[in-house]
Amino acid sequence: MENEAITAYRQRRAAFEATFERHLAAGVVFYSADGILIDDTVEIAPGAVILPGTILRGETKIGAGSVIGPNSLLENVTVGENVKFNASQGYDSVIESGAAIGPFAHIRPDSRVCENVHIGDFVEIKNSTVGKGTSVSHLTYVGDSDVGKYCNFGCGVVTVNYDGAAKHRNTIGDYAFIGCNTNLVAPVSVGDGAYTAAGSTITDDVPAGALGIARARQVNKPQWAKGKLEKFIAKQQAKEEAGSK
């Protein structure tokens, strides 16, 4: 008598193969079925490409010309046309046409990534709208924020949205430029065309067209490191001499 687990596996496998073949016959492109899992509730337009290691769950919808994968997971996500979604995960969100996501991005619930947005590696978007043409290229957290169109986020930007008791929202206007390693302590607003200087912790609104700078001035102390370097070199020389005996 067959083991129940084996029977259940075979049933799941048969259901998947039927779903896979249905999409294949409809014009969806698969180069391999390796690691691909697709719920029968998923909708995929003809001409979309599903690469190995992709998992599509729930009410996910994929538009024509989009390339999903490899090694990606989408659950209840609506994806527009000609989207590239590479080695990333997304949940309960909308990704509009022409967007490029990944690798290693995380689109958390209640987010909208608008047309032609670039979300790069190690970027997390949560409960936020990212406006048309905006670039968030690497190592950034955008949470509980409304971001305008054609903005640029430098590396290491963080929206500081949680004060330990409640979440707060940030608003970033169109064409804003957020410098590397900027912290935006919510609730703050960065106006249209405004800049934040790299390394700033922004706690007050930055008006449209302004530059927000929130960091200490650099102080150089001449010869401060000289004594430390001399001690380090002497210590290394002593180790080398001891090792040669």
30: nearest Cα among 68, 80, 71: 68
Cβ contact 53:34 at 8 Å: yes
Tokens of 110: 């209640």
Tokens of 65: 């010309």
- Which among 23, 118, 138, 168 is annotated as catalytic? 138
CA 74 to CA 43: how far, in whole Å? 12
170: nearest Cα among 141, 140, 145, 195: 145
Cβ contact 18:37 at 8 Å: no
Catalytic annotation on 138? yes
Known catalytic residues are 138
